[in-house]
Amino acid sequence: MLSEQLSSTAKPATLPTFWVRDLPVYGDVILAPMDGFSDWPFRSLCRSLGSAMSYTEFVRAQHIVQAYEHMALRLTYEEAERPMVFQLYGDDPDELLEAALRVQDKNPNIIDINMGCPARKVIYTGAGVGLMRSPLKIARIFRKLSNALEIPITGKIRLGWGGCKNYKLIAQIIEENGGQAIAVHGRTKEQAYGGQADWDAIAEVKTSVKIPVIGNGDVKVPADIDRLKAHTGCEAVMIGRAAVGNPWIFSRLERDSVSPEAVRQLLHQHLERHLAFYGAYKGMVLFRKHAMQYLKLQRFSRRVRTEIITQNDPEIFLKLVDEAYAGLGQAD
Ligand SMILES: Cc1cc2nc3c(=O)[nH]c(=O)nc-3n(C[C@H](O)[C@H](O)[C@H](O)COP(=O)(O)O)c2cc1C
């Protein structure tokens, strides 16, 4: 059933939905970059189910320059994921350039600069949303990278920091300095991930630049995709948290309409990829946060969920999953 779903959704539309410079993108829904989530196992499944392109988790430019081999896992992808976006963060234009030049050996389609992360350890270095306080630095970063690299450079921003909601200015600076697309998370640094995303502000960015704009924030169900597009005129929509435990959102399926058997099969497949990618122990531990979301959205008792999630042995874990889902079938 999974393979049927995958093959039916993986076909590209005839015409590109939009272009990032000369790179065609087929589709208007994209998995958001998420540290700790948008790794190869999850990204590749989302891409198969309809996410139009793949963004890595953010990677610190300094780590690439100083300890490249440790970053290799975060930049691992499969061909079917293309267009493949490597997201970098940092605050030093020269270091970002050096990192971008280095990762070219892994052949990404796009380099994206993170200007939205509100985490203290990131903004104290001047990176993430910290960059939005230094428009001139953003100009230098985009000018340098777009002059030196053959692939397109894009950016992901927030609305601003403090009273300074300079999203329109930053979007224009990105475009004027060679940036080829902008993703906008419609929240300020202070909002972090709470409160309501401001779709009017995303619409303002859209009318301020000619390059494609990807809207992000508060997309929770399939209907929100078209609502955000209609509200803002954005070329595409990015989905983060609502995709965890629910990658079917990229096929515009309501979570309730996905059969328990399809969920069980995908959970198996996701775990298999995790174990292959991270190794048995780490793979199982890191899978728990995904498993919690898959199972939470099912009608299992807390006892059953806890029993499954605290299991360290992958074989027993999958056996318990199968038993739980078989029980659901009987209840139906
Ligand atoms: C756990 C987590 C990790 C994130 N990591 C990144 C990241 O590495 N790069 C980035 O640009 N945004 C990151 N984000 C922000 C998301 O890409 C997205 O902008 C945000 O979650 C809002 O979208 P949503 O409401 O659909 O979740 C992260 C968000 C979460 C919740």
CA of residue 19 to ligand 1 center, whole Å? 23
How would residue 288 be classed by pLDDT, with cut points 50, 70 and 90?
very high
Instruction: Confirm or reject: Cβ of 38 under 6 Å from ligand 1.
Output: no
Are 208 and 179 within 8 A, CB to CB?
no
CB 88 within 8 A of CB 99: yes
Report DSSP letters for 244-255, one per residue.
TT-GGGGGT--G
Ligand 1 atom having least distance to the Cα of 158: 19
pLDDT beyond 60 at 1: no
Residues 320, 307 contacting (CB under 8 angstroms)? yes
Tell me, using a 6 A CB cutoff, whether residue 118 lines ligand 1.
no
Residue 34 phi, psi (nearest 5): -140, 115
Please determine, for residue 4, whether its predicted confidence score (pLDDT) is greater than 80: no
CA distance 305 to 164: 44
Phi, psi of 317 (to 5 degrees): -55, -50
Confidence band, pLDDT 50/70/90 cuts, at residue 169: very high
Q: What is the CATH topology of the domain spanning 13-252? A: TIM Barrel (3.20.20)
Pocket test for ligand 1, best of 193, 198, 227, 228 (most atoms within 8 A of CB): 193
User: Which protein residue has the closest C-alpha to ligand 1 atom 25?
Assistant: 217
- Residue boundaries of the structural domains of the chain: 13-252, 259-331
Give phi and psi for 40, each to the nearest 5.
-55, -45
Q: Is 186 close to ligand 1, i.e. is its CB under 6 Å away?
A: no
Total count of residues recorded for the chain? 332
Which tokens belong to 120?
């203290």
For the record, the structure tokens of 67 come out as 């300890």
Looking from the CA of residue 217, the nearest atom of ligand 1 is: 25
Q: Is the CB of 242 under 6 A from ligand 1?
A: yes
Q: Which residue has the CA at smallest separation from atom 3 of ligand 1?
A: 34
CA of 224 to the centre of ligand 1 (A): 17
CATH of domain 259-331: 1.10.1200.80
What are the residue numbers of the active site?
Answer: 117
pLDDT in tens, 186-199: 999 999 999 999 99
Give the atom of ligand 1 at the shortest distance from the alpha carbon of 32.
17
The whole-angstrom separation of Cα 209 and Cα 204 is 9
Q: What is the mean pLDDT of residues 18-41?
A: 98
Q: What is the pLDDT of residue 230?
A: 98
Nearest alpha-carbon partner for 217 in 253, 192, 188, 187? 187
- The average confidence (pLDDT) of the chain is 94
Greatest C-alpha distance within the chain: 62
Please give the average per-residue pLDDT across 154-161, as a whole number: 97
pLDDT tens-digit series, residues 226-265: 999 999 999 999 999 999 999 999 999 999 999 999 999 9
Q: Is 56 in the pocket of ligand 1 (CB under 6 A)?
A: no
Please tell me if the CB atom of residue 193 comes closer than 6 angstroms to any atom of ligand 1. Answer: yes
Q: Is 224 in the pocket of ligand 1 (CB under 6 A)?
A: no
| Per-residue confidence (pLDDT) for residue 248, from 0 to 100 | 98
CB atoms under 10 Å from CB of 85, counted, come to: 25
Paired tokens of 101 = 């030049």
Residue-wise DSSP of 120-177: HHHHTTT-GGGGGG-HHHHHHHHHHHHHH-SS-EEEEE-S-BTTB--HHHHHHHHHHT
Q: What is the pTM of this model?
A: 0.94
Quick: pLDDT tens for 55-100: 999 999 999 999 877 789 999 999 999 999 999 999 999 999 999 9
The CA 293 to ligand 1 mean position distance, Å, reads 16
